[in-house]
């Protein structure tokens, strides 16, 4: 894989989950200077002949007096932003469609304006009510949808990224344990989005790596005990159990990922590495991490950053939230 330090393929869009209270569960989108957002999407894709699209709602925020600004993931064009006019006053055209994580079909106006689509109406396909009632499953879903929205860039991977997120939501809805599903599906999404960690061979000698193992953030890959001294840092240590699970998760097709079980230590170590790795290459933190941390550690005394992974050298910009 090619590290893209500081490269922003598109404006940041993410969940802001500031409370554990489901009644107050709100998602906000922060849209940066996004001029090249639609341009880059539009040039690589044929114009849709039918102005409707399957979509998974990523974020919703109030816009002006009566409108809602919605970001949503699509299988043909990746993440899009649209305005639902008057949606706050009358929700009839969008009944139950404007909730983050909902799987919907959006009908778009014939012509988008600059970077914005205009949503004419929506039809709900699936709302995943059970996963919304369980904070841990909701936390996993929020992280996966944020990763999918951020990494849905490579045109030939868009369909698969959409399908992977939709599958993950459906499985969480069915009650599959988020502890195992989250790291396995996140690893798949990262691979599809062009951030596939190199886990099979040592980045130094090319051999099957032997412990003690280290993960190099700049190289996005693993180094064996003999080579880690020469590996470019920051480095994170990786225990052999976690490494084997991740390697297996990377090799398995998506429909077999549920066979894997990540114990808490392996789950946390995997997520620590993903978090540092994505932050290193995207230049920003996923907003949903803080929600996930609150969910798995309600007392808040030990976060992902101080989990079970020993830092060999400190990833730069290390900060909570
Ligand atoms: Zn080596």
Summarised one tens digit per residue, pLDDT across range 38-73 is 333 333 344 444 589 999 999 999 999 999 999 999
Question: Residue 24 pLDDT more than 60?
Answer: no
The tally of domains found in the chain comes to 1
- Distance from the CA of 209 to the center of ligand 1, in angstroms? 6
Measured CA to CA, the distance from residue 101 to residue 164 in angstroms comes to: 13
Residue 51 located in a structural domain: yes
Bridge partner list, 68: 62, 84
User: Which residue is listed with tokens 């991977």?
Assistant: 157
- DSSP, collapsed to helix, strand or coil, labels residue 216 as strand
Hey, which residues does 196 pair with through a beta bridge?
Answer: none
CA of 225: how far to CAs of 49, 156, 213, 296, in Å? 55, 36, 6, 32
Q: Could you tell me what percent of the chain has a pLDDT over 70?
A: 77
User: Is 37 a residue whose pLDDT tops 90?
Assistant: no
pLDDT band for 236, please (50, 70, 90 cuts).
very high
Three-class DSSP category at 254:
helix
Q: Contact at 8 Å (CB) between 186 and 143?
A: yes
Helices within the chain (DSSP H only): 35-44, 129-132, 135-151, 158-174, 178-192, 240-251, 264-282, 288-296
The answer as to whether 319 is a domain residue is no
**154: containing domain:** 22-198+239-306
- Confirm whether 47 is domain-assigned: yes
Distance between CA 196 and CA 249 in Å, rounded?
Answer: 12
Whose tokens are 């808040």? That residue is 300
DSSP 8-state assignment for residue 146: H
- Which span out of 5-14, 106-115, 180-189 was modeled with the highest average pLDDT? 180-189
Query: Which tops the pLDDT comparison, 309 or 161?
Result: 161
How is residue 18 written in tokens? 């500031």
CA–CA dist 33, 1 (Å, integer): 27
Q: How confident is the model at residue 307 (pLDDT cuts 50, 70, 90)?
A: very low
Given a cut of 90, is residue 254 above it in pLDDT? yes
Residue 169 within any structural domain of the chain: yes
Q: How far is the CA of 192 from the centre of ligand 1 (A)?
A: 26
What is the Å distance from ligand 1's center to 238 Cα?
14
CA distances from residue 84 to 41, 118, 155 in whole angstroms, order as listed: 21, 6, 26
Q: What is the pTM of this model?
A: 0.80
How close is the Cα of 219 to the center of ligand 1, in Å? Answer: 13
Is residue 223 pLDDT above 70, yes or no? yes
What average pLDDT does this structure show over 138-163? 97
Q: Given the DSSP bridges, would you call strands 78-84 and 117-126 parallel, antiparallel or unpaired?
A: parallel
Q: Is the peptide bond before 234 cis (omega within 30 degrees of 0)?
A: yes
Per the prediction, the chain carries an average pLDDT of: 82
CA of 226 to the centre of ligand 1 (A): 6
Ligand 1 center to 37 CA (angstroms): 40
Question: Between 173 and 321, where is the model more confident?
Answer: 173
For residues 172 and 303, give the distance between their C-alpha atoms in angstroms, rounded to a whole number: 23
In a domain, 204, yes or no: no
Taking the C-alpha atoms of residue 144 and residue 186, their distance in angstroms, rounded to an integer, is 6
Q: How far is the CA of 214 from the centre of ligand 1 (A)?
A: 10
As a whole-number percent, the residues of the chain with pLDDT over 90 amount to 70
C-alpha to C-alpha distance for 166 and 130, rounded to whole angstroms: 15
pLDDT of 308 above 50: no
- The owner of tokens 């059970």 is 130
For residue 151, tell me if it sits in a domain. yes
Q: Given this model, what pLDDT does residue 36 score?
A: 28
> Does residue 213 belong to any structural domain of this protein?
no
Any residues with CB less than 8 A from the CB of 17 and at least 6 apart, and which? 25, 26, 27, 139, 142, 287, 288, 290, 291
- Please state whether the peptide bond connecting residue 212 to the residue before it is cis, i.e. omega within 30 degrees of 0: yes
Q: How far is ligand 1, taken at its centre, from the CA of residue 287, in Å? A: 35
**CB 260 within 8 Å of CB 180:** yes
pLDDT over 90 (residue 201): yes
Contact 161, 192 (CB under 8 A): yes
Structural domain includes residue 220: no
pLDDT at 299: 59
């Amino acid at each position: 894989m090619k590290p893209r330090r500081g490269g922003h393929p598109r404006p940041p869009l993410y969940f802001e989950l500031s409370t554990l209270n489901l009644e107050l569960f709100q998602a906000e989108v922060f849209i940066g200077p996004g001029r090249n957002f639609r341009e880059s999407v539009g040039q690589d894709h044929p114009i849709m002949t039918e102005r409707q699209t399957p979509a998974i709602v990523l974020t919703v925020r109030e816009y002006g007096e009566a409108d809602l600004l919605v970001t949503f993931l699509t299988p043909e064009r990746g993440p899009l932003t649209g305005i639902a006019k008057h949606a706050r006053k009358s929700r009839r055209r969008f009944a139950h469609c404007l909730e983050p994580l909902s799987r919907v079909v959006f009908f778009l106006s014939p012509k988008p304006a600059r970077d914005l689509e205009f949503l004419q109406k929506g039809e709900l396909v699936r709302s995943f009510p059970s996963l919304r009632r369980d904070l841990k499953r909701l936390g996993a879903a929020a992280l996966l949808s944020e990763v999918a929205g951020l990494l849905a860039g490579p045109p030939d991977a868009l369909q698969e990224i959409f399908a992977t997120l939709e599958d993950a939501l459906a499985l969480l809805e069915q009650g599959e344990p988020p502890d195992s599903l989250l790291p396995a599906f996140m690893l798949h999404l990262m691979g599809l989005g062009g951030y596939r960690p190199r886990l099979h061979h040592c980045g130094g000698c090319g051999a099957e790596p032997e412990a003690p193992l280290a993960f190099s953030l700049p190289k996005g890959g693993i180094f064996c005990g003999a080579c880690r001294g020469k590996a470019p840092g920051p480095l994170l240590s990786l225990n052999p159990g976690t490494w084997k699970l991740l390697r297996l998760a990377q090799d398995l097709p998506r429909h077999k990922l549920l066979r894997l079980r990540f114990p808490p230590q392996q789950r946390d170590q995997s997520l620590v590495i993903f978090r540092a790795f994505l932050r290193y290459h995207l230049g920003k933190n996923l907003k949903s991490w803080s929600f996930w941390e609150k969910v798995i550690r309600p007392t808040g005394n030990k976060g992902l950053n101080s989990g079970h992974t020993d830092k060999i050298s400190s990833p730069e910009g290390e900060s909570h939230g």
